Structures are given as structure tokens and as C-alpha cells.
Structure 1
């Protein structure tokens, strides 16, 4: 199928799933998955497929970059040990469990390990879609797990596939060395590339140039690490987190709004396309195993699904007492994860497009020219596990959230009020000096003072008097003061990164309104 036709079909199916989500109240991943399955069986519709490399090397870096800009860096650091246990330890334990099940059911161990690596990473997009209003700490844990575990899984995947191709068994030492190298190189090159992009953003100040740099950023972060045989995934995450801290200092409101709007739409379309692509595999799987072998595929799929859930359940339940046993410092008590949060972590282990892309990326041939053993089986089982976990855990998530009795306010509202109050006082404290430096009239100064005193969230349209150039210039200076104040609050840890983004958005809209009037 030609590229344009693929784009049109994917676009229409993503739109159809989005409409089902909007008007039928069906969770977006379910809607996209269902539309993909239906389209795959429509007579006369040609096969729609994207090369797996597009998913792994274009879609994945883009999604990881957007997620890294929207995760709480403070929360990520605060719960780093839990995120590490989920994204590294749980990945390897899950892969080992799946490999064990696969071996018991007739797969060669290296092939079973490939299946384990493919199915070990989670999908934060599915979690966010199934439970869009999770408390901040739980959301950060699940997003952080998904950001990092792709790197762990893909490092294991590359070793396992190489072992199958070479006709040998992978060793623990080889896996460990590959993982450490991938992470170290990924972090180092990701931070270096991230800082270089920050310097570039300091000179690319116009909205068009800044947006262009933003669009290429995830790929600039990803490529050097991959060329050095490190983890491009880790590089994107490390560089993205660094840029989320540095860019507010140099990016204008117009450029930031333009870039964020682009990534918001791109993320939505990419996520929709990925879930649709999962659904589109249904016809191929059914056609391959409709007459022969379907029972073994079904049994293996069910066994692997149960194993994945059981391992996650046991790991998360045992995680808290293990941490308490190993770390008895009083300062660590605040970091403990109560059981109601752990229950949601257990239910948040969805699988998604990265798993399918990895399965489809398995090479067709091995070193001796023979076909890769059980390649079609890997794809079929991966498809089945993704669907079962998405439907099963997705249906259970509302009940889990209801039983967890989570608080409605996780502190964001109070931090938001703190940010608004602090930045208003910062602007007022410097208003007299700023007015004198700008040569503003007392009337202009009075209007600006009244404007600052208003609640930012309820600020109305500018009046005719505010349209005066002197007033507008002074308002822009006040906004600059407010930005400095909230940057200080975030740097000191008094407000969370997500609250910072919320207040920053308010200031961006206010600044854009002033610039629009001037133009």
C-alpha cells in the first residue's frame, strides 16, 4: 500500500476511534484498538502496515520526549527508587518468567527470552487514557516506569535476538554488560545533546526557529546514543528531563505555546495510530492460525498473560517491605508507598505499541539462512497479550480506583495558589522601580497594579486603557518578574514541576494576549 494511502487510512481510523471515545465514552485505547480490528477484516481494504523501524526510531522518541516534558521531575527524583525497581528489576524478572513459561511450552530458551523482552515494557499512554485523573504521585510513578523500562527491555531484546541469530544461548554477563553500557552511554550522550540543544534554543529565538528545533529535538537526542550502541531511549529521557528544567529560561511564550501545541497534537495522533496498528494485526494473526496451531497460540497467550500479571502483583506487593528492610533511615519514611497506591501500580501494567513493534522487528532470517524460529508465533502471542491486558486491566482499573479511596486533592491546588500569590507579590514589589525605569505614567502604574491584584485564572480581556503602549510594556515586565518568581519556587522544591507548567501556561496566555494586541 502506498504511503499516502496508509496515512489516509490511519488518519481516518484514528479519527473514528477518537469520535467513539468522545461520544460513546469508550476509553480511547479500546476505541482505537476496536476500530483497527474491524478495519483489518473489512473486505477490499488492503493490508495497512508500517515498518517497525518507524515505530522504534520515529514514533517512540517523539512520544518519550513529549512525556519527559510533562512528567514531574521533582516527583521522578522523589520516587526514583520505586521507579527503578519497576523499570529495571521488574523488566528482567518479567522477561525471565515469560521465558520460563515459553520454554516449558516448547519454545527454545533464546526465542522464549526474546518473547519475554518484547512483553516486559509497559505503556504509560494506555494508563493515562484509562485513568486520566490519577493523583500526581501515582501518575509520575507509572509514567516514570514506562519512560525507563523501554530502555531495559530493548537492551535485553537486542542481546536475545543476537543470540538467536548467532545460534547460541545468551549469558547473564552479556545481558548485564549490554544494559550497563546502554544506560551509561544513553545518559551521557543524552545530557550532552540536551545541553547543546539548550544552547541552540538560546539563539533560535523566533517562534518558527524555536518550533523547528523542538520538532527535531527527540531525534537529535536519540541518534548519537544509538550510533554509539547505547540506549537512544535513555538519551531521549535524560535530555528531555534536562531541557524541561532549562528551556523555561530562554523560550518565549509564543514559541513555547507553538511547540507544545504541536507536540500535543502529534502525541495524540501517534498514540492513536499505534493502537490502531495493534488492532490491524488481528486479521493476519487469525489468517495464520485459523486452521492449524490456534490452540497452542491461545494457551501460550493465556499462560504468558497470567504470568505477567502474577509477577507484577508479587513484585509490587513485596517491594515495600523489601525497601523498609533494606533502608531504615527516618528520612525515607516519607517515600513509602501505601498499599492503595501499590494496588493501582499493579493494575497499571498495560502493554502497547513498543511491544508489538519489537515483535515485528524480529529479523526474518538467522545466520545460517534459515527463518527465525517461531517468528509468527511471537507476533501472535504479543498481539494477544496486549489485547488481553488492555481489556482486562482496563476494565478493572475503575474498580481499583474506586476501592483505593484516593484523596481528591494531592496538593496541586495549594501549590498553585502559592505560585500565583508569590509571583504577584514579586511583580508588585518591583512595580515602582520598573515603572520608573520605563518612564510610565502614574495612571499606567495604577492600572498595572490593579491588573496584578486580579486572580490570574479569572483575568478578563484588556481594557482600552490597558492597550496603551506604556501599560502593555509594564505588564510584560511584570510577567517577566512573575516568571522569575515561579522559577525560584520550583528550584527550591516548594512547588511541583506540574504546578509550574500550569502557572507557566497562564503566564504564556497572558503574554500572548498582549503581543496579539500590539500586532
Structure 2
């Protein structure tokens, strides 16, 4: 099968599976995975192999960048301790428990740790899709964990592979050195690439060029970090978070609108394609299982999946009590979560592309030329764990969320921010009118629109101000409307900077303002 034929097949699968997912109200990743498995039965697709580099370079940087860009930095700061713990301690504990489980099945310690590291991190794309509709704090904790924990898992994975093939000898100093390089180097590279990218983007006015840099920046950060043996994942995450903070002030509205549209489409397409390809790859994992029987392999999958789930539940139901014993500050008391939201966090440990890419990247042979022990079982077990988390855990999550009583939040904050933005525009009205020398007729029309819109917001209604303007004063009308949009935008950015509103709230209002600005700008007479 040619690359073009594969592209068409995957594209059709994405269309059909997303339609089916909406019809049966099941999370799209689960349906896409099943669709990929069904595609794998087609003879031309049976020989398809997913190169690990394709996942780690073509898919991962852009997806992680956009997940980081659309995350709430305020919530990350507030919950940074638990995010750090889940991204490090939980990953290491999961890898260790899986390694012990695999060793009980006769897998040597080196390959057992390779398997543990491969299945330890949660998948950012799956968590991002399946975590929608949760309260902002819970959703941010899930997303931030999945963005960072790949770095920890890949360090453990690299050391386990190197020790197994005979290139390294395990030592605590060596492990510390690898972690320091991965985290410190990843953050430094991400900051450097983003700084250069922002210098360029601040001088661009063409939205298409902004789009190009939005795609090139995560790819460049990932590649450069990997070249110096740092964490490409952390470099991309740092880049996405930084750009999200400076975007409101640094980029023009039409560029933000264009990039948002294109990146939303690209990431949706990459997400869908990735889960379909994982489903196709499961066929290869099954057919490649030769060192043991299928029944024993399935038992190993169930055992490893149980270890993954057990480690996660144990962490979320022990670590909070340890923290409470050690930290009695009032701030810590305010951050405490009840058992129900912790159950949601524990149940959301989905695995995905990074795990499969790590398993497929295990070398075929050792340095002495002998086969890598149990490589086929590592690939099979990893694919099985991904299937279990997406096909069993994911469909159960909505029920767990309903049981927990958690509901989306932020509506009140959004409404307060909208009111503050419109009020800021009205407060600046006299100064703006004086600066633009706007005629009385246009002033009366625009002030009437804004007064009506503000009353509607305070009453809890929606009343989008239209763009009527007298033909003989259209230019003045456009100038005044654009100046007032700028005042509203400045207000919501200031509210974000002062932690009065969340990044998500800013992005929602900013998207509306960018559309309004583009629409009004098109009304300017030529």
C-alpha cells in the first residue's frame, strides 16, 4: 500500500469513527482505536509498521505544544506540587510495580523495567480529549501531569534499555545526571527556541507566516533538545506555555484567529490519525508475539494493566494524607480534595502513543548480537495496556464523573470578565472619542450598542452588538469600534495577569474579540 492510499484510508476512518462516536456517545479515542483495529484486518494494511520516530517527531511535538498552549498556567501554579509528584514519583512507582509484575512472568529485570517505563506515563492527547467537561482544576492537573510525565518515563526507559543492551551500568549518580540533563536541558532548549521564535513572530503581520512558525517552533524545540540528549517533551511544553502567555499582547488579532483555526484542525487530525494507527499497529503486536503463547500474553496484559491501575489509585489515596501530615499551612488545607475528585484523577490514567512508540523503539539485539530479551512481549503488553485503558477505562470515566458530582466551572468568572471588559470600554469612551474626533452621530450609535450589551450581560443574557453604521460615517464607526475592542482586550489581559481570571477565560473572550475585530475591520471603506 502506498503512502497516499494509507492517508486516504486513515482519513476515511477518522471521518467514520468520529461520526459513530457522536452517534453512540462514546469517547472518540476508543472508537478510533477500534476503527484502526478493524482496518488492520485488510490485507494491504497488515504489513504496516508505525516507526517510533514518526510518533515522536511528526505527531508528538505539535500535539503537546497545543495541549500546553491551551492549558491553564494559573491552575498549574496553584497545583504545582501534586503535578510534580504525579509526573515523577507516580511514574517511577508505576514503572517499578510493572517491572515487578513482569518479572513474576519470567521477564528479566532489565526488560521488565523497559516495559514499566513504557507504560508508566499517561497520554496527553487521550487525557486532553477525555478530560473535557471536568472542573478546571481537575482537568488541568490531568493535562499537566500527562504533559510532563513523559520526560520522567523516557529517562527511566533510556537507562533501562542502555543497561539491558550492555551500554550502561546502573548507578544513582548516573540516574541523577540523566534526570538533570533531561529536565534542565529540556527547559533551557524550550526557552531558547521560543525566545527566537517570538522575536520573529513579533515582526510578522501575515497570519500564514504565524501559522508556519506555530508548527515549526515545537518541531524545532523537540529536535534540538533531542540532539543534546535533553527532554524534547519538556522543551515543547515550555514553548507552548510561554507562547500562551505572550500571545495576547504580542500577536495581532487576525494572526491569533488564523492560528487557532488551523492548529485546532491540525491537532484534531493528528489525534485521530494517531489512534487509528495505534489500532492498526496492534495487529503487528499480536502477530509478532512469538516467545510465548497468546493466552500467556493476554494474562500478562491483564496483570500489567492491573498494576498500572493499582499504582495510580494507591498514589492518589496515600499521597494526600502524607502531605497533610507534613504540611499544615492554611494554603494546603484550601487545596485539599475529597475522595471523589481523587477517584476521577485515579481513573483517568489513559495510555497512548508515547507508550507504544517507546515499546517499538526497543532495539532488536544487544551489543553482543543476541536478541533483546522478551522484546515481542514488551510490545504486545504495551499495546494491550493501551487497549485496556482506552476501551475499558475511558468508557467508564463518564460514569465515574457523574458519581463524583463534578461539573464544569468557570461560567461565573467568564461573565464577570465580559462585564469588566465592556465596562472598561465604556469608561474609556470619552478619551477614545476625543482622540479619534468621532462625530456625535457615530458616538451615540456605538454608545447605545455598548450600553445595551452591558445591560444584557448583567441580566445574564446574550446580546451580540451588531455592526450597523451610517454609510457617511462608516470609517469613523470602524475606528471607534476597533479602539473599544482594544480597550476590552487590554482589560481581560490585565485581569489574567492579576490572576483575577483564568487563561481559559481569557482565551474564550479573546477569541470573540478577535472575531469582532476582524469583522469590524472588513467594514472599513476602501
TM-score class, shorter: over 0.9
Which residues of 2 match residues 507-518 of structure 1 at below 5 A?
Answer: 507-518=513-524
Match of 1:448 in 2: 446
User: In the alignment, is the contact (CA less than 8 A) between 2:46 and 2:283 conserved in 1?
Assistant: no
Which residues of 2 match residues 188-227 of structure 1 at below 5 A?
Answer: 188-227=188-227
Q: Does 1:75 align with 2:80?
A: no
- CA gap 1:505/1:168 in 2 versus in 1, 3 angstroms: closer
- CA gap 1:285/1:193 in 2 versus in 1, 3 angstroms: closer
User: In the alignment, is the contact (CA less than 8 A) between 1:10 and 1:276 conserved in 2?
Assistant: yes
User: In the alignment, is the contact (CA less than 8 A) between 2:120 and 2:153 conserved in 1?
Assistant: yes
Match of 1:489 in 2: 495
Which residues of 2 match residues 104-503 of structure 1 at below 5 A?
Answer: 104-166=104-166, 170-289=170-289, 293-406=293-406, 408=407, 410=409, 412-453=410-451, 454=453, 458-465=463-470, 468-503=474-509
- CA gap 1:292/1:338 in 2 versus in 1, 3 angstroms: closer
How many residue pairs end up in the alignment?
517
- CA gap 1:166/1:218 in 2 versus in 1, 3 angstroms: same
CA RMSD after TM alignment: 1.9
Query: 1:89 deviation in Å?
Result: 0.7
Deviation string, structure 1 residues 9-29 (Cα, Å, up to 9, x no partner): 221222221121123323201
Deviation string, structure 1 residues 458-485 (Cα, Å, up to 9, x no partner): 3143124287011101110111111111
Match of 2:33 in 1: 33
SS of the residue corresponding to residue 495 of structure 1 reads coil
- CA gap 1:195/1:168 in 2 versus in 1, 3 angstroms: closer
Query: 1:376 deviation in Å?
Result: 1.4
Query: 1:44 deviation in Å?
Result: 4.5
Distance 1:114 1:515 in 2: 56
Query: 1:343 deviation in Å?
Result: 0.6
Query: 1:378 deviation in Å?
Result: 0.9
User: In the alignment, is the contact (CA less than 8 A) between 1:117 and 1:154 conserved in 2?
Assistant: yes
Query: 1:409 deviation in Å?
Result: 5.2
Distance 2:311 2:478 in 1: 59
| Superposition TM-score, scaled by structure 2 size | 0.94
Match of 2:4 in 1: 4
Greater shift, 244-253 or 74-83, is seen at: 244-253
SS of the residue corresponding to residue 106 of structure 2 reads coil
Query: 1:503 deviation in Å?
Result: 0.7
Distance 2:366 2:491 in 1: 59
Which residues of 2 match residues 52-67 of structure 1 at below 5 A?
Answer: 52-67=52-67
Unaligned 5+ residue runs, structure 2? none
Deviation string, structure 1 residues 154-181 (Cα, Å, up to 9, x no partner): 1111111111222665334322321122
Distance 2:329 2:45 in 1: 62
| Superposition TM-score, scaled by structure 1 size | 0.95
Deviation string, structure 1 residues 279-314 (Cα, Å, up to 9, x no partner): 112322333348961122112111111111111111
SS of the residue corresponding to residue 356 of structure 1 reads helix
Deviation string, structure 1 residues 353-380 (Cα, Å, up to 9, x no partner): 1101111111222212222222111111
Query: 1:119 deviation in Å?
Result: 0.2
User: In the alignment, is the contact (CA less than 8 A) between 2:32 and 2:272 conserved in 1?
Assistant: yes
Q: 480, 500, 506: which is aligned to 2:512?
A: 506
User: In the alignment, is the contact (CA less than 8 A) between 1:110 and 1:169 conserved in 2?
Assistant: no
Distance 2:286 2:242 in 1: 45
Query: 1:315 deviation in Å?
Result: 0.6
Deviation string, structure 1 residues 189-245 (Cα, Å, up to 9, x no partner): 212222222221110122122222112111122222222211111111112111110
User: In the alignment, is the contact (CA less than 8 A) between 2:130 and 2:394 conserved in 1?
Assistant: yes
Greater shift, 332-341 or 116-125, is seen at: 332-341
SS of the residue corresponding to residue 383 of structure 2 reads helix
SS of the residue corresponding to residue 372 of structure 2 reads coil
User: In the alignment, is the contact (CA less than 8 A) between 2:67 and 2:124 conserved in 1?
Assistant: no
Distance 1:226 1:93 in 2: 25
User: In the alignment, is the contact (CA less than 8 A) between 1:6 and 1:49 conserved in 2?
Assistant: no
SS of the residue corresponding to residue 150 of structure 2 reads helix
Query: 1:347 deviation in Å?
Result: 0.3
Greater shift, 77-86 or 467-476, is seen at: 467-476
- CA gap 1:516/1:290 in 2 versus in 1, 3 angstroms: farther
- CA gap 1:167/1:438 in 2 versus in 1, 3 angstroms: closer
Query: 1:428 deviation in Å?
Result: 1.3
SS of the residue corresponding to residue 517 of structure 1 reads coil
Unaligned 5+ residue runs, structure 1? none
